A and B are shown apart, each in its own frame.
Chain A
Amino acid sequence: MATVIELDHIAHSFGSESVIKGINMTVDKGEIFGLLGPSGAGKTTLVKIIVGILKPSEGSAIVLGTPMPSLEQMKKIGFMAQSDALYSELSGRENLDFFATIYGLSKLQRKQRIQEVLQVVDLTSEIDKPVEKFSGGMKRRLSLAASILHQPEVLILDEPTVGIDPVLRQSIWEELNVLKEKGATIILTTHVMDEAEKCDRLALLRDGYVIAQGTPKSLKQGIGVTTIEEAFLHYGGAVQ
């Protein structure tokens, strides 16, 4: 399978504080790749490097064959940040229309795509209400909708299901699988262990290091445990 993302000896520090240390990782086309780790492990920083917001202090991040950061590649990447990043005075539709224009979609494309993504995230009925009246879950879904408007080849989600009830989490996962079927490559961060099981492959992060990577099954079987949680504790312990 084709490699979509290639991280080569990535390290990043904010001032003297080193957040990410020597990360090597590849993500193949059409997989859902999970970055699992406690808060402060460096997941968000790593994700921002892949998106192109941050330039790594060391190493290179190659997305679809081009080193990041690159404005050209950003067109092919969808990003859903940890915060909802929506304009609360505007309606849901106006938010989507704004982001679609930023991605350079024509008026006709915008209308069509907005309709499509709204169906994907199941928000059609309340889309013309101002976002400040949205519930937390609705905002999360609208954020997701905004990140897939331009049909990105790579979708990067930072804690997409945090603070979301199990039903909605289920539906977001269904949506992710649909996008995957269509050929999108998805990277998501999470600190929820059972969610990690749903990923095709995982990287376990701790204190800026990747302590293990592989499919959930291989991570568990390699050391003879039954849950990812046990695996995480095992690998985390091995580093110390």
Chain B
Amino acid sequence: MRTMAIIKRILRQLRRDKRSMALMIVAPLFILTLMWLVLDGDTYVPEIAVVDLPSSIVKSLDEQEAEIRHIPEQEAREKLQNKELDAMITWEESKPEVLLEGSDPTANGAVQKVLQQAMKEKAAKPVPEPELKFLHGSEELNLFDNTGPVLIGFFVFFFVFIVGGVSFLRERTQGTLERLLSTPLKRWEIVFGYLGGFGLFTIVQSIIIAAFSIYVLNMYMSGEFWYVMLITFLLAMAALSLGTLLSAYANNEFQMMQFIPLVIVPQVFFSGIFNLETMEPWLRAIGKVMPLTYGGEALRDIMIRGKGFAVFSNEVYILIGFTILFITLNILALKRHRTL
């Protein structure tokens, strides 16, 4: 009943604090929408200048998805300098030579792809076009779909960490924690009250964020919606227990913010937004102690690969394990304020 009283109080406080509520719900939607606008765009169409190329090559280049400009070399070089062109192709000793603008990897890649395609079609015996089949995902799967599941998990983790951590910190700085500890309330009752209050709020938060991403922004989704809920909820619990634990080591809100570059940002690198395969094994091991690594992996299994519980059950248990660890440490950390 005393835990219930804390849950009720936290939900009331959240309802009064419209700004924090907006931060936890509107901010993720806003950033996801921006991500969608940026990452979900069409494929890059490079602008290429051709100088004195054999007409057959120009013809097959024209058929590619690229804007081909026929201009003199001098003008093309100037335009490359001004970043108005992505590449210039000239004919040197019976083979083409390509000068890339070079500062943008996306543009470089696009130019090379166009060239390869054009040369292949020009070859004497055209290689038969391979038929592509997808085990998971589809041809349409782009960067937004690929990183989206991790982003959903990340936003829930980040905002619950901050808001939960700061509210627990304020409980200490405004003296209410000491006041609570002067009552027969047990330490675990306070911690579970926090988990309950923010847990309930997080369920609503995750439903809104996931539903918006999947149904409004059309993020690729081939699994069960409630699995997504399960993982985001577990991530939120890990974030909340970690945030309240770390708040014990911050003296004010500003010091709480200082945990972001230390605790939150490194998790992003290992969460699967960037490909981990190319990393050194010892470096990859760092990711093993981070909750977001497991949350991100499970969310991709569900949303992109459409897997069932058996596939991501390990991740679920590990996330629960993290939460139990942080809760235990938190209850022990409260001993600093009351030994009993």
A-side residues, CB < 8 A to B, are 51-55, 69-72, 74-75, 77, 79, 81-90, 94, 98-99, 101-104, 130, 146
Q: How far is the CA of A121 from the CA of B175 in the complex (A)?
A: 21
B340:A71 contact, CB within 8 angstroms = yes
Cβ of A55: which chain B residues have Cβ within 8 Å of it? 339-340
Main secondary structure of the interface of A (DSSP, over half): loop
Q: How far is the CA of A53 from the CA of B340 in the complex (A)?
A: 8
Of A51, A53, A77, A86, the residue contacting B176 (CB under 8 A) is A86
B13:A89 contact, CB within 8 angstroms = yes
Selected A-B contacts with CB under 8 Å, 22 pairs: A51-B182, A52-B338, A52-B340, A53-B337, A54-B339, A69-B340, A71-B184, A74-B184, A84-B175, A85-B174, A86-B176, A89-B16, A89-B17, A90-B9, A90-B12, A90-B16, A94-B9, A99-B179, A101-B4, A102-B2, A103-B183, A146-B179
The size class of the interface chain B forms with chain A is 20 to 34
A74:B175 contact, CB within 8 angstroms = no
In the complex, which residue of chain A has the Cβ closest to the Cβ of B193?
A102
Cβ of B337: which chain A residues have Cβ within 8 Å of it? 53
B183:A85 contact, CB within 8 angstroms = no
Q: How far is the CA of A79 from the CA of B180 in the complex (A)?
A: 10
In the complex, which residue of chain A has the Cβ closest to the Cβ of B181?
A53
- Report B5-34 residues with CB < 8 Å from chain A CB: 5, 8-9, 12-13, 16-17
Q: How far is the CA of A94 from the CA of B15 in the complex (A)?
A: 13
Known A52-B182, A89-B13, A102-B183; judge A83-B174 contact (CB<8 A): yes
A75:B17 contact, CB within 8 angstroms = no
Cβ of A94: which chain B residues have Cβ within 8 Å of it? 9, 12
B178:A74 contact, CB within 8 angstroms = no
Q: How far is the CA of A92 from the CA of B204 in the complex (A)?
A: 28
Q: Beta-carbon contacts of B106-147 to A below 8 Å, as 1s and 0s?
A: 000000000000000000000000000000000000000000
Whole-angstrom distance from the CB of B336 to the nearest CB of chain A? 11
Q: How far is the CA of A81 from the CA of B172 in the complex (A)?
A: 13
Q: How far is the CA of A111 from the CA of B175 in the complex (A)?
A: 25
Is B186 an interface residue when CB atoms closer than 8 A count as contact? Answer: yes
Q: How far is the CA of A114 from the CA of B211 in the complex (A)?
A: 43
Is B185 an interface residue when CB atoms closer than 8 A count as contact? Answer: yes
Of A79, A89, A101, the residue contacting B182 (CB under 8 A) is A79
Whole-angstrom distance from the CB of A161 to the nearest CB of chain B? 17
Whole-angstrom distance from the CB of A45 to the nearest CB of chain B? 13
B184:A72 contact, CB within 8 angstroms = yes
A74:B1 contact, CB within 8 angstroms = no
Cβ of B12: which chain A residues have Cβ within 8 Å of it? 89-90, 94
B2:A85 contact, CB within 8 angstroms = no
Q: How far is the CA of A146 from the CA of B179 in the complex (A)?
A: 10
A87:B182 contact, CB within 8 angstroms = no
A75:B184 contact, CB within 8 angstroms = yes
The 7 A-B pairs of least Cβ separation, nearest first, read A83-B175, A101-B5, A85-B179, A85-B175, A79-B182, A89-B16, A69-B340
Q: How far is the CA of A96 from the CA of B223 in the complex (A)?
A: 47
Q: How far is the CA of A94 from the CA of B12 in the complex (A)?
A: 9
Whole-angstrom distance from the CB of A68 to the nearest CB of chain B? 9
Whole-angstrom distance from the CB of B92 to the nearest CB of chain A? 73
